[in-house]
Amino acid sequence: MALARALLSVSDKTGLLDLARALAARGVELLSTGGTQKALADAGVPVVGVETYTGSPEVMGGRVKTLHPRVHGGILYRRGADEADLERIGGKPIDLVVVNLYPFEATVASGAAHDHIVENIDIGGPSMVRSAAKNHASVAVLCDPSDYAAVLAEIAATGEVSLSTRKALAAKAYAHTAAYDAAISGYLSSLDDAGAREAYPRYLTLPTERAYTLRYGENPHQTGAFYVERGAPAGTLARAESLGAGGKELSFNNLVDVSAALEAVREFDEPAAVVVKHTNPCGVATGGELAGAYLAAREADALSAFGGIVALSRAVDVATARLLAETFLECVIAPSFDPGALDVLRAKKNLRLLATGAWLPHDHAALDVKRVSGGYAVQTRDASARGEATGGKVVTKRAPTPEELRALEFAWRVCKHVKSNAIVLAKEGRTTGVGAGQMSRVVSVQIACEKAGANAAGSVLASDAFFPFADGVEAAVAKGVTAVVQPGGSVKDADVIAAADAAGIAMVLTGARHFKH
């Protein structure tokens, strides 16, 4: 497929001039429109306007400029079959289409008026992309600037774009237009009769791209793959870079656990460490420096930490790396790793290292989606638990001390990330025991106290939902717990509060529940 002619019409002009200059240097005729044509002409790149090529001016305020037989005929023309038709309409073969679309999603996100949003629904762009993708036997289509360099390198090496590359670009192009249409249908179907946007559109499409296959699924007899969301931001697991030195690939369970650890560590601005086992935090701590935070998190439940997943909120330094290397771990995820830390950790066989880059600690997608039988259960993301304990209502005769209140706030944030029924025991800045996923809340209390051992004495307790009976509080008091934070709202609240008062402990009600299923 020798390149004679390319059509360039882009909203995102990243890499445009380098691409155009390289094509022009190879003698490729460039056709273009509007702002793209102006950018090329201003840069001294030879370009032919689409109006000149078609002989038809733009009309309807620019809404119609590329919807023309000479454009689509040139793109869809089948070599060796359609020569007569192409000649009859005065068209020429178009071998490369470089198009990306009006920024519809960005326009919606900007809060623009509805009429302006509608004007940013691209029509000609998707039509050209789809035409080129359909005719990938003869035409290459570029809709992502990140692909320009690889395609130029292939052209430089072979003089053409290979069929395998054209097929891959065509598949990507259809995914691009599908995601674009999904965004439009989602926006339009979220508007009520008055034009206000509802939280849940009638049509919810989840555009994704396979990042890689996994070592296996939840169990070894299952296969698995990791798909990333379109537009997933930096700082998420989707954009994490693997920095390991070979070894095992990630499994399904690894990914789920890493995600759970990352979500939990985002609760804290200060240096923080989270150790996760089977999606539950088994140790969480904060500190003045990362190494101390990790050591405290690990020692909160050293037995469970073996074979765990660790998330850290700061760049991993050598001191922290040496502590990490003392225990068998599956994976460590952090914003970055210092070079010396990488040297230490890469010596550990099969330890996976993931660097997310900088993140916004509370930056979450708008909707949380969970697969259920025959469909999806969709909800807004659980809001941050910050300040709910410190701003809660003291309902006991004794108020928590300042130290207890800080520990309650810490425990409450951790509790949000533990599977229900969730109980977290903590002292200021570190967990001492975690009880997760039990059918009875009092059993979760018993497990958390057992995990804490002697450290239960002087700990505070957070419960993700209300105590249905006083027995949970009584079990905690028996092990030396001094303060409790819980949502409240049980018909037995009076009995639970009375049990706390009888023991002389403090209790704070937040009025907020953080179930995690």
56: its two tokens: 């038809």
* The one catalytic residue among 13, 92, 134, 172: 134
Nearest-10 Cα torsion for 59, 60, 62, 66: -60
| Cβ contact 393:402 at 8 Å | no
Place of tokens 């050598």: 318
Q: Residue type for 35, please?
A: G
Is residue 300 within 8 A of residue 278, CB to CB? The reply is no
Helices (H), 301-440: 302-305, 318-324, 339-345, 402-415
60: which residues sit within 8 A by CB, 6+ positions away?
none
CB neighbour list of residue 223: distance below 8 Å, 6 or more residues apart: 213, 214, 216, 217
Catalytic-role residue among 167, 172, 248, 278: 278
Note whether 417 and 264 are within 8 A (CB).
Answer: yes
Q: Say whether 134 is catalytic.
A: yes
Token pair for 296:
């405290």
Name the β-bridge partners of 393.
509
Spatial separation of the C-alpha atoms in residues 289 and 314, rounded to whole Å: 9
Dump strand ranges (E) for 393-488. 393-394, 423-427, 430-435, 460-463, 483-486
Secondary structure letter of residue 400 according to DSSP = P
Is 13 annotated in the active site? no
Longest Cα pair distance anywhere in the chain, in angstroms?
Answer: 96
To the nearest 10°, the Cα dihedral for 309, 314, 318, 324?
A: -20
Question: How many whole angstroms separate alpha carbon 130 and alpha carbon 111?
Answer: 29
H helices within 26-59, ranges in order?
34-42, 50-54
> Where in the sequence numbering do the catalytic residues fall?
134, 278
